[in-house]
Structure 1
Amino acid sequence: MPRTNVSVAQITRAGIAPPDETNGDSANNHVVSNNGRVVLLIRNSGTTVARTVTFRFPVLIDGQSVIPKAVSIPTSASRYFGPFPVDTYGARLQVDVDNAELKLTAFGI
């Protein structure tokens, strides 16, 4: 199945209301439109175990895939990630989650 899209909320000087979170989809994972100025807020809504988010690199080096970057998010914690350079992460940022307890929000800056 295709990856679940995470909409990007553009931050403006006039301000924006907090956008809705996207529930983690560990079966299909996620994709975010990336122009190099995207920041992700990822929240672990769980209270018993740390969860892992993984950022994939769509590039090959000498025909070999680059090992994805995995980051652990502690229980009941939130982390901001980004920005993601397009030449490294691609125009379609691929984000994998290990559980639906991870909640994703994307912001354009």
Structure 2
Amino acid sequence: MAILAAQRMPLSGLQPTYAAAAGGGDQAPVGEKLYLHVRNGGGGSITVTLATPGTVGDLAVADAAQTVPASGAAFFPLKAAFRDPSTGRAAITYSGVTTVTVAVVQLP
């Protein structure tokens, strides 16, 4: 599991540096204007899941999951709802990691 660092986007723009998605999942900071960008270079779709550690009453809140199509990309907001109380970061897993790259971007 890798800990992804946020890359601040200046007003002039950003060409983010991407990392390979980790087979055991990744962790990322959470907060306003933070987004996870996932690029799937593979021939099949993958599912990206962000763990939601909260509960409402006695019921667990469902994790957020989104499919990223083959040769596609998707953005995920890294809101405080995804903050794991033990790490302070979001826990992210992928159904596949071959040719999947990720970056965390902080908007201005």
TM-score (norm 2): 0.82
Q: How many residues align?
A: 102
* 1:46 maps to amino acid: G
Deviation of 1:20 (Å): 2.1
Give the match's secondary structure for 2:71: coil
Cα distance per residue 1:50-90 (max 9 Å; x no partner)? 111001112122244322111111100111222x331x222
Give the match's secondary structure for 2:102: strand
Distance in 2 between the 1:66 and 1:26 partners? 24
- Which runs of at least 4 in structure 1 moved beyond 4 Å after TM superposition? none
2:27 corresponds to which of 27, 31, 41: 31
CA RMSD, 1 decimal: 1.7
TM-score (norm 1): 0.81
Q: How does 1:5-84 map to 2 (within 5 A)?
A: 5-16=3-14, 18-27=15-24, 29-47=25-43, 49-82=44-77, 84=78
Give the match's secondary structure for 2:16: coil
Give the conservation status (yes or no) of the 8 Å contact 1:55–1:69: yes
Structure 1 gap segments, 5+ residues each: none
- Counterpart residue number, 1:107: 105
Distance in 2 between the 1:19 and 1:85 partners? 20
Structure 2 gap segments, 5+ residues each: none
